[in-house]
A = this chain, B = another copy of it.
Amino acid sequence: MKNKIEEYNEYREKMNEKIIAGSNKVIKRFFNLDTNAYMDGVLDTKTKEMLGLVSSMVLRCDDCIKHHLINSHKNGLTTEELFEIFAIANLVGGSIVIPHTRRALEFWEEIENNVE
């Protein structure tokens, strides 16, 4: 049985492939750019993933949050750091961010239990 991280990743990959197969150059380049934006620069990937995560939280995009949680975890984000990001996201974005924070923490627990 698949865990929620695998489920998320599989659907994401399946549909992204179909979108890219659509031969629309603007979409392809946009998706490509999205990947490049988080590569090490003067800011390292971990910092950039935190920027992506907090942005996704204040914009309240659950799937985007999941994506950045997976990548932040890969790049060494700790639970204590995560909570400080939660704090800023909730302060800046308000109580409407709370339900997304609940789901974010639940997904983070999944990651910690299932990803090495």
Contact = CB atoms under 8 A, between A and B. Distances in A.
Interface of A: 11-12, 15-16, 18-19, 22-27, 29-31, 33-34, 36-38, 41-43, 47-48, 50-52, 54-56, 58-64, 78-81, 83-99, 101-103, 105-106
Contacts of A34: 91, 95, 98
A27 B87 contact: yes
B91 A92 contact: no
Counting chain B CB atoms within 10 Å of each CB, the highest count among A19, A27, A94 belongs to: A94
Contacts of A85: 43, 51
B19 A29 contact: no
Nearest to A109: B18
Contact of A63 (B54, B61, B92, B99): B99
